[in-house]
Structure 1
Amino acid sequence: MQLDNYDNFPTDLPVIAEDDIFLYPFMISPLFLSDDKNIAAATEAIENDSLIIVCPTKDSHEGERDFEAIYDAGVIGSIMRKVALPDGRVKVLFQGLARGRVVKPLTTEPILHATVDTIEPSEVNELKMDAIIEVVREKVRTLSQVSGYFPPDLLRTIEENHEHNRIADLICSTIKMKKDEAYKLFIEADIEKRFLMLIDILVSEIEANKLQKEIRSKVQSRIEKVNKEYFLKEQLKQIQKELGTDNQREEEIEEYRKKLEAKKTKMGEEAYKEISKQLERFARMHPDSADAGMIQSYLEWVLEIPFGDFAKKKLDITKVEEQLNKDHFSLKKPKERIAEYFSVKELLELRGKKNKESGGAILCFAGPPGVGKTSLANSIATALKRPLVRIALGGLEDVNELRGHRRTYIGAMPGRIVQGLIDAKKMNPIIVLDEIDKVGRSQRGDPTAVLLEILDPEQNSAFRDYYTNFNIDLSNVIFIATANDVGRIPAPLRDRMEFIGVSSYTPQEKYEIAKRYLLPQELKKHGLKASELTISKPALKEIIASYTREAGVRNLRRRIADVTRKAAKMILEDPEKSKITVSLKNIKQFLEKTVFEIDKTDNIDRVGVANGLAWTAVGGDVLKIESIRIKGKGTFQLTGSLGDVMKESARIAMSVVKTLIDTKKLIVSPDQVPVTPKELEEKITIDPSEVYKRYDLHIHVPDGATPKDGPSAGIAMCTTIASILSGKKIRSDFAMTGEVSLTGIVMPIGGLKEKLIAAHKAGMKEVLIPQKNYERDLDDIPDEVKEALVITPVSRIEEVLEKMLV
């Protein structure tokens, strides 16, 4: 089929945009059309029995169907056949006839139409072209040797053909070229230039394929070498097994011996003897014996113990203080005590004395969750540049977890202390014994008994692990324990430790911690910049006051994280938002549910309702103590899930108030005493001191689902009983804490700091505390609390009632 059978060029033709391949005039190719414009163009060409031009699309415009998306050149040809496929596509068989060029775009709807002209070849110098074509054929032969591009039939066609453009098209359709390169060769009318460009491309392809062939050859050689070595090694293993010899095992044993000899001078004589003994046993054993694997595991464990390796940095108390102040706000007393502890150690080091001469105090940070006990240990490790090992003791019941399992058991391994030394790779790490108050006891032993040895400076220099079966020196380890409730630690273990109380934070301290540490850290965690999220001071204080219930700052961190997460989402949803500000007005958008830690006082004085102060595991709390009186015979009822100590306090309080009434120290108005109709009729005078005989009392401490106990509710119980019997109101803006004796003496209590912080949060005006607490504990109270509260010492119950009853 020739172009002569059709209209003269230039002429108007429909256009098909082809995404996948670059067609050439000699090709008969199937085209799969899925685009409506392409299908319509093919249909029009068939119906009008006209030619059509197929133009390739540019790489960046695949799928688009306009003249900007296609090259302005393509193959002019005819459609020989058209078949509709089941998936909605149309398959056409296209025969290329000549190279063509789009001279003028005409229409883009409903199909592409353009004025097309053929690309006519230029005149050539036959002699020169023969020389150029011979060079091209030589390059093609060379390329065929280093690649699989040219099959023999195609090579023969290129050798025998004398039509210049046909040779160029055959080569271009075979080698892999980018569309831009193929387009430049396709539209070039000057045959000489076209072949010179083709020679450059062939040279590049030859170099690239040579390099690929070389790389493939090297990879293949390496794979063959690896496979060969593998098969030879496997054969050697089988031969050695048949002969009863195993060089690999001998190499392992020799490696163990080298490690042992390298550590001989650093480990004790006992350890060296035990490891040597087990190593010789292992060498004599048959590799398939039952004990061989167990002894090999033992050797691998014990040879990893860092005998004689110590962190070399000297103690520097200034570095410790700097790190503590950098990482923690407030905590003045704990930081002072830590500094004193390490001052002693530094002084002993300077004077060449051993650590155990310091008295061997083991620090234990005690306080509510989230106040920074574990992070204090982290700061100490950072300052001393020693590795930190954390051992969580919560729920630990098996003594072997600490001391190690005897090697007779399956799956035996060293205890956590020895594993900690191996992980730290030093013999003087800082080991944090977390939650030491939550160690359990079971039929597998009492772990606290092992802790007694570990924490005793007189014994831990020769700590014996059951698995290693030799003594290990723990005297250079700095042990730091943490606990929530000191009372749950067994007395012998408490005796080994020095407790540093890490108590509740005041609202102002929480604000400073949130501002300096928590907010910057959470911004970093959530990928936010400091300029993108701002929490105003009132909003931050509202989060502290109304959205957290804790002594520490763990929940405060979670609430700040809630805010930062929502802020991150808002920035993603609205990229134009460059800054988000959280204020009191919009805080509900970020935090929904408020948790009121302590109810604020309503400043309404009531009969029989007193404000007591209590210590809990999560800080202080204001404890409302309520009472009512019912006509009766003087019985006494207690509710509110009270423990034995509080029940006794209530009984003592009742007896104290009765004594005060009997001795006229608590005056009861006659109108407070109920009289019977008969007594009223006979005008019998009733002694006011009879009041407690004519009422049944019911004392209740709200929140009955929460168990309550402790020796500090005595004066509050006295106050509420005195109020309900005398009919006098109790000051609602006053709170109190203290135990009362049977003779009316106000006795000291514990947890004063947490209780006063709770009173401050509840908006109390004045707090009554025992005289002895006033004398000895007031220095520990934050200045912010002392400035906000009037703290009044009391020594007898009469002083309390005089202050509280109005």
Structure 2
Amino acid sequence: MVKRSDVILPLLPLRLGLVLPGTITPLPVGRSRSIALARALEAGDRIFLAAQKDPAVDDPDRDDLHSLGVTAVVREKVDRGRRGLMLVIEAQERRFLGEIVRRSPYLHAETLEAQETRGDSEDAHALADIVRNGLNDLLETERPVQGPIDKDCPPGLLADRVAASLDITTDKKREILEALDVVSRLRRLIQFFGEARARMAIKEEIRREVQKDLSDEEREAVLRKQLRAIQKELGEPLDEQVELRERLERAELSKEAMRIAMRELNRLESMNPSQAEAQVARSYLETLAELPWAKRIEDELELGPVEEILEAEHHGLRDVKQRILEYMAVLALSKKPRGTILCLLGPPGVGKTSLAQSVAEAIGRPLHRVALGGVRDEAEIRGHRRTYVGAMPGRIIGAIRRAGVKNPVIVLDEIDKLGRGHQGDPGAALLEVLDPEQNHAFIDHYIEAPFDLSEALFIATANDLEGMSAPLRDRLEIIEIPGYTHDEKMEIAKKHLIAKELEAHGLKGEAIRFTDEAIDLLIDRHTREAGVRQLRREIGKVARALALERVRHERLDETIIDEAAVRRIVGRPRFGRELREEYDRPGVAAGLAYTPFGGDILFIETTRMPGKGRVEITGKLGDVMKESAHTALSFLRSQAELLNIDVGDLDRYDLHLHVPAGAIPKDGPSAGITMLTALASLFSGRKVRSGLAMTGEATLRGRVLPVGGIQSKLLAAHRAGFTTILLPKGNELDLEDLPKSVLEDLTIHLVSEMSEVLKLALEESHDPLRGDPTKPKADQVAA
């Protein structure tokens, strides 16, 4: 019965369930209009609650709502952070829903009074007594009733409170809500009591069926049987399995993974939860549910912001930035591009790992780093089989799991440091991970179901590819970062390192300035590296001294850091201005070498003494380097006449070739022309030209073959102060990647024959014969 008494109230649609009068209920809100309403409400405000006919409707209108709802008073508003707001309300009275009068920023609606009938009749009170008496039998199995239900509680309110506590469906609760006749409402409630008693009878029958004479050890197993019997009778799975099943369904597993998961879930339901195998199955299912089978993050596809982030975070590195922008362009044009596996190759401290972090930030993806240095077990990549105690997924699946999306940026750090043990070769296991044609169905031994890795962006970092297998190298797109020039280090220090170190040491707000001369001193005299890691340490040393002064005196007397301040704080310089040496005697030449730490200068020293033609080679050299020395000596023998060398000298003297830094292993063919030049200088008596260094492989025919690591070698020569460089002609194209500032400071000669090398490398002799006064005596050491 509708009584005309219009009241306009804020309207909160209920997507699921309904609320009965006389109950206190928490209501989480998640839709935009509902959130706007919740933010506007305060404790004590009244609202109107109406249930939706179809939960799928996101923005309901009047026709989408049931006509009868309840008014409620807000008791509390709880902000749950990321999970949104929650209202705690107390439902009060039934009212009919009229017209919606306002929709923005949240709904307002007319409400009409719904008048109850026969609420105080004798039949109502009699039926209420029956409900109270019958309720005692159900208190152990149903939820407790909210509020008092004694004689003072009106029959209609009693019916609402008891119905809210019963485990009945939403449709049955709606029957109670829509029953304005209190007697009819109580009669329908008593029918629900009968259904609840029938459920209790079924449970008791099940208990009798499974009850037997059992020992204490079997008691827990019996309880499990009872639960399974109840589950079968009611058609309701257990709570734990319900949660796992829902999580697995939300995870959107592949068909094969879902089939495996359902099989394991059914096994788990039949297990004793205290069994070790049950815990293994539970952990496995939780891992499957946590993996992002279909969850991905949308990329930031605008090239402008991406380019700005890369430029702001890293100086130079043109090729790397260009490749990242190309990847983003392809991603913008093709929503499903082919998998990309980049490998940043370079010495320590050039910013390989931090560049990967900037890439992840630029494209808006989460980043996870997988440290591969020293990994010797194939199971670290592919995971352990579940038959092993403590089994877990491999590092790749673990990274995907922690990232939470299937398209993260995964940094495979120090991929060249992979080991190999008796447990297998992890490098071989990486072949499938890094192959775009295979990794769309990568199978981890723990998961035992294909997982798609093709959308992940893999960025590997390495210092040296020498020890890496050819198949693994073939799967990587190598981008070389050779190192920084002096000017680039200066810019990096000014734009990045100084600010970061001052902030790290609590000096961000201080007006501290480093002069160019101070930075130059740190770069040239206190560090000698391809990257900037040691430079950052030296700047950090200055920052710590300033922090100590700031705390000790509560102020900074020195805010301009010049050369004098650097000398006082950092100490005496560790290096001279130039590493190059003046060749004051024949038999010494400078070569260029490539190491995992960048380019380096390699001096070759030779001497001879009376003997029988014996050759001694020292300096902890590898087989290839020793063979290069013998090749150079053989070439000198064959070309002795052209080089004005007496072959008889080679038989009358013992020869000693040494490469300094004898504790460091050295190998490779690129010192071939340097060894040959040093030997030719020794026997011809002609010194090597000042400021000259060289690299290249020499053959028995006198050919000069190309070698690797040209960029790093030339940067090392530039740092060391060399001005003239001899390079194989086959390395001409490598010069295109060098910074212009380096090319302008170096004079580079491209050679293809050893005759060209000796002509350019050796000084002109006033007397080309053996009587040349610059030629060392037999007992003289050239070093």
Shorter-chain TM-score bucket reads: 0.5 to 0.7
Once the 2 structures are TM-superposed, how far is the Cα of residue 242 of structure 1 from its aligned partner?
10
> SS at the partner of 1:488?
coil
Q: Does 1:256 align with 2:244?
A: yes
Give the letter for the 2:276 counterpart: A
CA contact (8 A) 1:612 1:713 kept: yes
> SS at the partner of 1:481?
strand
Q: Equivalent residues in 2 for 1:31-110 (5 A)?
A: none
Q: How many residue pairs end up in the alignment?
A: 537
- The corresponding residue for 1:221 is none
- The corresponding residue for 2:403 is 424
Once the 2 structures are TM-superposed, how far is the Cα of residue 593 of structure 1 from its aligned partner?
5.3
Normalization by structure 1: what TM-score?
A: 0.64
Q: Does 1:781 align with 2:760?
A: no
Give the letter for the 1:619 counterpart: G
Q: Equivalent residues in 2 for 1:346-361 (5 A)?
A: 346-349=332-335, 354-356=336-338, 360-361=339-340
- The corresponding residue for 1:343 is 329
- The corresponding residue for 1:798 is 755
Give the letter for the 1:765 counterpart: T
Q: Equivalent residues in 2 for 1:235-274 (5 A)?
A: 244=223, 250-263=238-251, 266-274=252-260
1:256-295 alpha-carbon deviations (Å, 9 max, x no partner): 12222333xx221111111111111111112233311111
- The corresponding residue for 1:765 is 723
Runs of at least 5 residues in structure 2 that lack an aligned partner in the other structure: 1-218, 229-236, 764-783
Looking at structure 2, the residues matched to 776 and 302 of structure 1 have their Cα atoms a distance apart, in angstroms, of 50
- The corresponding residue for 1:474 is 453
> SS at the partner of 1:718?
helix
1:34-72 alpha-carbon deviations (Å, 9 max, x no partner): xxxxxxxxxxxxxxxxxxxxxxxxxxxxxxxxxxxxxxx
Q: For the pair shown, which has the larger CA radius of gyration, 1 or 2?
A: 1
Looking at structure 2, the residues matched to 373 and 482 of structure 1 have their Cα atoms a distance apart, in angstroms, of 6
Q: Does 1:667 align with 2:644?
A: yes
> SS at the partner of 2:639?
helix
- The corresponding residue for 2:648 is 690
Task: Quickly say closer, same or farther: Cα 1:313–1:343, change in 2 above 3 A.
Answer: closer
Once the 2 structures are TM-superposed, how far is the Cα of residue 689 of structure 1 from its aligned partner?
4.5
Normalization by structure 2: what TM-score?
A: 0.66
Q: Equivalent residues in 2 for 1:411-490 (5 A)?
A: 411-490=390-469
Runs of at least 5 residues in structure 1 that lack an aligned partner in the other structure: 1-239, 669-687
- The corresponding residue for 1:334 is 320
CA contact (8 A) 2:340 2:457 kept: no
CA contact (8 A) 1:317 1:346 kept: no
Q: Does 1:316 align with 2:298?
A: no
Once the 2 structures are TM-superposed, how far is the Cα of residue 247 of structure 1 from its aligned partner?
8.0
> SS at the partner of 1:661?
coil
Q: Equivalent residues in 2 for 1:572-587 (5 A)?
A: 572-587=551-566
CA contact (8 A) 1:270 1:470 kept: yes
Once the 2 structures are TM-superposed, how far is the Cα of residue 586 of structure 1 from its aligned partner?
3.1
> SS at the partner of 2:640?
helix
Looking at structure 1, the residues matched to 575 and 596 of structure 2 have their Cα atoms a distance apart, in angstroms, of 17
Once the 2 structures are TM-superposed, how far is the Cα of residue 700 of structure 1 from its aligned partner?
0.9
1:466-513 alpha-carbon deviations (Å, 9 max, x no partner): 222211111211111111111222111111111111111111111111
> SS at the partner of 1:306?
coil
Q: Does 1:623 align with 2:602?
A: yes
Looking at structure 2, the residues matched to 241 and 421 of structure 1 have their Cα atoms a distance apart, in angstroms, of 39
Once the 2 structures are TM-superposed, how far is the Cα of residue 603 of structure 1 from its aligned partner?
3.5
Once the 2 structures are TM-superposed, how far is the Cα of residue 518 of structure 1 from its aligned partner?
0.7
CA contact (8 A) 2:589 2:678 kept: yes
Give the letter for the 1:743 counterpart: R
Farther off after superposition, 466-475 or 511-520: 466-475
Q: Does 1:284 align with 2:282?
A: no
Once the 2 structures are TM-superposed, how far is the Cα of residue 791 of structure 1 from its aligned partner?
0.9
Once the 2 structures are TM-superposed, how far is the Cα of residue 569 of structure 1 from its aligned partner?
0.6
Looking at structure 1, the residues matched to 702 and 490 of structure 2 have their Cα atoms a distance apart, in angstroms, of 41
Task: Quickly say closer, same or farther: Cα 1:601–1:485, change in 2 above 3 A.
Answer: closer
Task: Quickly say closer, same or farther: Cα 1:304–1:598, change in 2 above 3 A.
Answer: farther
Give the letter for the 1:511 counterpart: M
> SS at the partner of 1:303?
helix
CA contact (8 A) 1:598 1:622 kept: no
Give the letter for the 2:628 counterpart: S
Task: Quickly say closer, same or farther: Cα 1:602–1:393, change in 2 above 3 A.
Answer: closer
Between the aligned residues of both structures, percent identity stands at 47
- The corresponding residue for 1:639 is 618
CA contact (8 A) 1:285 1:292 kept: yes
Once the 2 structures are TM-superposed, how far is the Cα of residue 583 of structure 1 from its aligned partner?
1.9
CA contact (8 A) 1:601 1:733 kept: yes
Give the letter for the 2:585 counterpart: R
1:448-479 alpha-carbon deviations (Å, 9 max, x no partner): 22211111122111111222221111121111
1:326-380 alpha-carbon deviations (Å, 9 max, x no partner): 211011122222322333333222xxxx323xxx442111111111111121111
Once the 2 structures are TM-superposed, how far is the Cα of residue 598 of structure 1 from its aligned partner?
8.5
> SS at the partner of 1:310?
coil
Q: Does 1:730 align with 2:688?
A: yes
Give the letter for the 2:755 counterpart: E
Task: Quickly say closer, same or farther: Cα 1:449–1:762, change in 2 above 3 A.
Answer: closer
Task: Quickly say closer, same or farther: Cα 1:529–1:313, change in 2 above 3 A.
Answer: closer
> SS at the partner of 1:407?
coil
Give the letter for the 2:263 counterpart: K
Looking at structure 2, the residues matched to 544 and 280 of structure 1 have their Cα atoms a distance apart, in angstroms, of 66
> SS at the partner of 1:486?
coil
Give the letter for the 2:240 counterpart: E
CA contact (8 A) 1:629 1:696 kept: yes
Task: Quickly say closer, same or farther: Cα 1:333–1:247, change in 2 above 3 A.
Answer: same
CA contact (8 A) 1:605 1:731 kept: no
Once the 2 structures are TM-superposed, how far is the Cα of residue 752 of structure 1 from its aligned partner?
1.2
- The corresponding residue for 1:214 is none
CA contact (8 A) 2:464 2:595 kept: no
Give the letter for the 1:253 counterpart: Q
